[in-house]
Amino acid sequence: MPTTTIAGRTLDVNEEGFMTNPDQWDEALGAELAKLIGLEMTEAHWAPIRFLRTDFAAMHETPTLRRVSTQAGIAVKDLFALFPGKPAKKMAYVAGLPKPKGCV
């Protein structure tokens, strides 16, 4: 399994660069990951990221964009504004989780 070093930490990642061990993550690392993809974290960014972490812990699956929107009560439009382009994948990356698998 490949590894990469980010912020002085050695992280297990998959072939695309997504972290594969959620236990290696904390919010300080999340902020570093965000910087690497050009995002500066604000409280508005953290709300969905924290939801992703708790939902993944419960469901063992990264929530889809719609699930984040309906369960965390954040408008899809706002998620696109916070994580432009590919919000579901970017949120998963910042949260140190795999890409969501669900279709909707």
Partner 1 sequence: MNDTPFVPSFDDDSASTGRKLAIICSKGNLDMAYPGLILANAALGEGIETHLFFTFWGFDMINKKTMEHLKFSYLGNTAMHPPGAFGVSMPQGMAGLPGVTALTTAMMKKQIADLDVPEVPEFLELIHGSGGHLWACRMSADMMKLHEEDLYEGVEGIISATDFIELTDGAQLLFI
Nearest approach, Cβ of residue 7 and partner 1 (Å): 9
Structure tokens at 76: 């899809």
Distance CA 104, CA 96 (A): 21
Pick between residue 18 and residue 25 the one whose CB is nearest to partner 1: 18
Nearest approach, Cβ of residue 41 and partner 1 (Å): 16
CB atoms < 10 A from the CB of 59, how many?
10
Nearest approach, Cβ of residue 42 and partner 1 (Å): 19
Pick between residue 35 and residue 50 the one whose CB is nearest to partner 1: 35
Q: Are 63 and 55 in contact (CB under 8 A)?
A: yes
Q: Using CB under 8 A as the criterion, which residues of the chain lie in contact with partner 1 when the complex forms?
A: 2-6, 13, 16-18, 36-38, 65-67, 69, 75-77, 80, 84-90, 93, 103-104
3-state SS class at 11? strand
